[in-house]
Amino acid sequence: MLATLTGWRLLRRVLRVVGVLLLAAVVYLGVTAVQVWSTGRRYEPRPAGAIVVMGAAQYNGVPSADLRSRLDEASLLWHQRYAPLVMVTGSKEPGDRYTEAQASARYLVSTGVPATDILEAGGRDSWANLADAAPQLRARGIVSVLMVTDRFHEHRSLAIASTLGFTAYPTPTRTSPISGLAAIPYYAKETVGVALGRIVGYQRLSSIHASLG
């Protein structure tokens, strides 16, 4: 009888601890979700060393609608003289002829940005893109950047740029085709990405993602 009571007490304690942990996880994700959403509402262009465009899909050298919206924002910022350089990022999928960065550079030139004012870096995810871009930016003495991406992706991009030592300001595209209810899954994904990145580190999270293929 005593053993049974002791077992039930232990079970209740375990369940209580599990409940507290689950509640903490829900609160943590909830707070993170609010932060991801609120950061995406910010638009703070100011003079900086470079405009950094986070990569997105391209098709045979032609930017997808999402990538094009980011590039249009970057082109506008460059023409408004907020920064003298535009760093475009992104690698390519197997079988592609062009990287996302190459497709982006071609598009920016068509909007009037000189090729000499465009830098390219490539990576398979957000961390890799910015980590590859960082040495080129540092070599030019650049410490501040304007981050151009979708609203849902802005918080994580700023966090990674900060981790790499840059002062980054949010300038999300205002013409993204991913909006309204269609953006909810993207916000959910980014919430999880930011939540995990804070715990294990964005570089380690990128390594885990790469190892999983």
Question: What is the residue range of 56's domain?
Answer: 41-211
For the residues 45-50, what does the mean pLDDT come to? 98
Does 16 map to a domain? no
Helix 202-211 vs helix 126-139: crossing angle, to nearest 10 = 130
pLDDT digits (tens, 9 = 90+) for 115-173: 999 999 988 899 999 999 999 999 999 999 999 999 999 999 999 999 999 999 999 99
For the residues 79-98, what does the mean pLDDT come to? 93
Give the Cβ contact number of residue 63 at 10 Å: 25
pLDDT digits (tens, 9 = 90+) for 169-205: 999 999 999 999 999 999 999 999 999 999 999 999 8
Residue 92 is part of a domain; what is its CATH number?
3.40.50.620
* Lookup: tokens for 145: 């950047």
Greater model confidence, 1 or 79: 79
pLDDT score for 122: 86
pLDDT score for 7: 60
Average pLDDT, the chain: 93
Torsion of CA 57, 58, 64, 66, to 10 degrees: 30
Does 100 map to a domain? yes
C-alpha 65, offset from chain centre? 17
For the residues 38-56, what does the mean pLDDT come to? 97
Q: Are 39 and 162 in contact (CB under 8 A)?
A: no
Domains identified in the chain, total number: 1
